[in-house]
Amino acid sequence: MPNIIMGNNQIAEETRVWKALVQSSGGGFQWNSVAIANNFVKKIKTKSYYSKIIYLNAMLGTGIGAAIVPLIDKLRAGPATNSGFVDADFNQAFGLQGNGAKILNTNILPSSLGASNNGGLGHWENNFTGSGDVEPVGCYNNNGSNRFVLDLRPTIRTFRWGLPGNGAGDATAGDNAHWYGQRSSATSRELFRNAVSIGTNTTSDVTSQTNDSYIHLVGSYENIGQYPWPGRCGLAYLTDGTLTSNEVSDFNLILRAYLIGPTGKP
């Protein structure tokens, strides 16, 4: 477990902004929240792939006012828009618990993540139920012709970025795990479970330019409405979609060591 002492009070700018936004959003902190956030930020900024991480919600602090604030926010989207969650739904030790009726809106479009409509979606699931809605993060485009989602259910685990049929994954049940899917080119989509690749799709796919639905967390937004997720989000993040396999593996280790481990999350 990494040391959670900040040392010399050297707080990264990302940590300062996150702390201020948590306070202004009505959230609070556990005794170790700020130190964990700061140590993670300082560590991830030493990595070459830091530039590829566009948004990261670390799920640190107390109350829903903390849960909605991203620790990394390169698009300056600000706190997610909360629909239904209350303070009792969030615990730093385990994450944000959904019930199939609540959702967070990142206010970020899929088309804003990476060049040529590339992008990546990450979600750490801590309470997979296998019932209810099936997408823990993502959205459809405005007319439903393209999907930008992680799709987890008892019979499917798939990453979709483009036409609905061109998913990367397999016909196996979802479960509690670190899930990450990315599109790095028109012919490259890949899904990882705990940093291990479990499916690819190389079908040529030009995604729609009308990606005017926002990416949601603890659920997804489809063209006919919101689809909340009944599981529990330990953390969530968005990337530009171009992480290498080695970078996915390294990022998984850092997330587990700095965000999942110190807070007692399973």
The 10s digit of each residue's pLDDT in 204-232 is 987 766 677 999 999 999 888 888 999 99
pLDDT computed for residue 210 by the predictor: 61
Distance of CA 260 to the CA centre of its chain: 14
Residue 194 in any domain: the answer is: yes
Query: pTM, whole model, 2 decimals?
Result: 0.94
Tell me if 103 is assigned to some domain: yes
Residue 5 pLDDT > 50, yes or no? no
Cα distance between residue 79 and residue 125, in whole Å: 21
Q: Give the pLDDT confidence score for residue 4 in this predicted structure.
A: 46
**Domain-embedded: residue 106:** yes
Domain range for 128: 13-260
Q: For residue range 93-139, list pLDDT tens digits in order.
A: 999 999 888 999 999 999 999 998 899 999 999 999 887 779 999 99
Please report, for the domain that includes residue 153, its CATH number. 2.60.120
3 assigned to some structural domain? no
CA angle in degrees (0–180, nearest 5) for 192-196-200: 50
78 torsion bin: left (phi>0), alpha (psi -120 to 50), beta (else): left
Please tell me the total count of domains within the chain. Answer: 1
| pLDDT computed for residue 133 by the predictor | 77
**What rounded mean pLDDT belongs to the chain?**
92
pLDDT at 248 over 90: yes
Nearest to 194 by CA among 171, 220, 215, 176: 176
Q: For residue 263, what pLDDT band results from cuts at 50, 70 and 90?
A: confident
Task: State the SS3 of the chain.
Answer: CCCCCCCCCCCCHHHHHHHHHHHHCCCECCCCHHHHHHHHHHHHCCCHHHHHEEEEECCCCECHHHHCCCCEECCCCCCCEEECCCHHHEECCCEEECCCCCEEECCCCHHHCCHHHCEEEEEEECCCCCCCCCCCEEEECCCCCCEEEEEEECCEEEEEEECCCCEEEECCCCCCCEEEEEEEECCEEEEEECCEEEEEECCCCCCCCCCCCCCEECEEEECCEEEECCCEEEEEEEECCCCCHHHHHHHHHHHHHHHHCCCCCC
Best CA proximity match to 110, nearest among 152, 142, 67, 76: 142
Domain-embedded: residue 83: yes
> Does residue 3 carry a pLDDT above 50?
no
